Amino acid sequence: MNNSNTTVRGQESSLAKNKVLKNTYILLSMTLLFSALSGLVSYLMNISVVNPFITLGLYFITLYLTAKNKNNMSGIFWVFCLTGVLGFTLGPILNIYINNLSNGTEIVATAFMLTAIIFLSLSAYVNLTKKDFSFMGGFLTSGIIIAFGASIILLISSMMGYYFPLMMLGISSLFALLMCGLILYQTSSIINGGEDNYIMATVTLYISIYNLFTSLLHILAAFTGGDD
């Protein structure tokens, strides 16, 4: 009798995990498409500059509202608001690379393909092996806080006219590695039952993909970018 109950509970747990994973990937696909459309709109509008502090403010507001409403349907609305805001900021970023570098289009396309390959490969690895990457949680949190703080300092320095290209490249490389780790961690958390909310799982994976893409853009431009 106990074995039967254990089997039933195991099946229910497996079904719940699969449902979270399925819903996460569906919502992630939709938000990525919506984000791409938002980026295309801002690119076609030829917006060259977006105030980074306004962007950060909108990001944290929509992130807070998403987390607050993660257990109801309005959370989905705020997910689209969050990804729409971040997607809109891609337009000016793409304008900088495409219009200022002779091979800007190739750099953007390469960064996009690398991001897709990395995400799909890491996700497939976790799905196939079922490996638990929960041990990376503390390291990833600390690393992201440090990298984010350093990027804010560099942003303020650049606004004051002081530029540190090697440090910026180092932070981009660090962000790229951290985002790869975050993809492994979040996917593992869903598969092994540590994450049962597909809205927050979607947000984490989207932010990982977004930061990985922008970091790869900077890295590729640093090594292969050519001025007009």
Structure confidence at residue 18 (pLDDT): 82
pLDDT bucket at 8, cuts 50 / 70 / 90: very low
* Nearest-angstrom CA–CA distance, 135 and 12: 25
What letter would DSSP give residue 73? Answer: T
Domain layout of the chain by residue ranges:
2-224
Structure tokens belonging to residue 150 = 């350093």
Structure confidence at residue 164 (pLDDT): 79
pLDDT bucket at 159, cuts 50 / 70 / 90: confident
Structure confidence at residue 156 (pLDDT): 85
Polymer length of the chain:
228
Query: In whole angstroms, how far apart are CA 127 and each of 19, 52, 181, 185, 189?
Result: 14, 36, 15, 12, 11
Across 137-149, average pLDDT: 92
pLDDT bucket at 223, cuts 50 / 70 / 90: confident
As a whole number, the mean pLDDT across the chain is 88
Structure confidence at residue 102 (pLDDT): 84
- Has residue 44 got a pLDDT over 80? yes
What letter would DSSP give residue 196? Answer: -
- Has residue 1 got a pLDDT over 70? no
